[in-house]
């Protein structure tokens, strides 16, 4: 049976974290949750500590005092969990549950079917799917993916969906060193896996439901920062 560590990075998420959503994920018997506090300045540390205390030892807090951004928080969390040596898989999802709990549970079931693969949530609009994205986020995302696939031919439809699960051996390759970017660290994950010859072990899973949640930290102005980070990727991963 797979034993899976799920990381939820938390920065000032006091008003968005839903305890009932976290508890839904515990319906999957082999899943533990790691709520990673990224130097929050609101009541997030107290809230997640309270939630963990009531979980019967299946929700844990990783309390990073200094705010360092989502990419660094996930990097540190993955490596802290890998050091435990207790899990077969590690994944991460956004604290706003834009990927709702029932979709995360579907992804966990996919891990059970394909334990050797890394599973990626993918926001593909299909018949009867409920994918609700703000237009500017969709357009920025598609432009980024088009440029990335033209330059690096990763073959990933949705690099930026914040729903991913990895076998620990693959996670060790993807998170073996700090990221050079913040918005595009997911792309760095794939570039590292491509260099290691592991992209054929990936499986994109179209989500039936995904929605933008109010309070999202991405806005249209961040598109300029993202394009600067594309240049960083081109300079540093050109031979990938």
- Is the Cβ–Cβ distance between 192 and 114 less than 8 Å? no
CA terminus-to-terminus distance, the chain: 34
pLDDT for res 218: 57
- Is the Cβ–Cβ distance between 78 and 7 less than 8 Å? yes
pLDDT for res 217: 56
Strands 118-122 and 59-64: unpaired
- Is the Cβ–Cβ distance between 144 and 230 less than 8 Å? yes
Rounded to two decimals, the pTM is 0.94
pLDDT for res 226: 86
Distance (Å, rounded) from C-alpha 188 to C-alpha 231? 12
**66 CB-near residues (< 8 Å, 6+ apart):** 39
Provide the CA 193 distance to its chain's centre, in angstroms.
16
pLDDT for res 215: 59
The tokens for 41 are 């300045």
Averages of pLDDT over runs of 10 residues in the chain (240 residues) are 96 95 97 98 98 97 97 98 98 96 98 98 94 80 87 93 97 98 96 97 98 67 82 88
Distance (Å, rounded) from C-alpha 206 to C-alpha 22? 22
- Is the Cβ–Cβ distance between 92 and 8 less than 8 Å? yes
In the numeric block, the tokens 């600067």 are attached to: 228
- Is the Cβ–Cβ distance between 42 and 67 less than 8 Å? no
């Amino acid at each position: 049976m797979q034993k899976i560590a799920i990381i939820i990075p938390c920065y000032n998420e006091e008003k968005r974290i839903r305890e009932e959503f976290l508890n839904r994920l515990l319906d999957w018997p082999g899943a533990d949750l790691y709520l990673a506090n990224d130097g929050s300045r609101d009541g997030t540390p107290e809230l997640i500590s309270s939630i963990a205390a009531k979980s019967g030892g299946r929700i844990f807090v990783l309390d990073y005092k200094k705010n360092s951004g989502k990419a660094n928080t996930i990097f540190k969390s993955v490596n802290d969990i890998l050091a435990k040596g207790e899990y077969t898989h590690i994944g991460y999802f956004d604290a706003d549950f834009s990927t709702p709990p029932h979709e995360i549970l579907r992804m966990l079931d996919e891990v059970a079917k394909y334990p050797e693969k890394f599973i990626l949530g993918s926001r593909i609009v299909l018949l009867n799917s409920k994918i609700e994205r703000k237009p500017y986020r969709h357009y920025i995302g598609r432009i980024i993916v088009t440029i990335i696939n033209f330059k690096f031919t990763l073959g990933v439809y949705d690099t930026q969906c914040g729903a991913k699960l990895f076998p620990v051996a693959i996670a060790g390759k993807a998170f073996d060193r700090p990221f050079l970017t913040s918005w595009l660290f997911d792309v760095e994950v794939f570039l590292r896996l491509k260099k290691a010859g592991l992209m054929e072990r990936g499986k994109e899973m179209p989500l039936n439901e995904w929605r933008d949640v109010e309070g999202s930290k991405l806005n249209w102005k961040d598109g300029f920062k993202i394009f600067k980070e594309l240049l960083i990727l081109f300079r540093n991963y050109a031979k990938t």
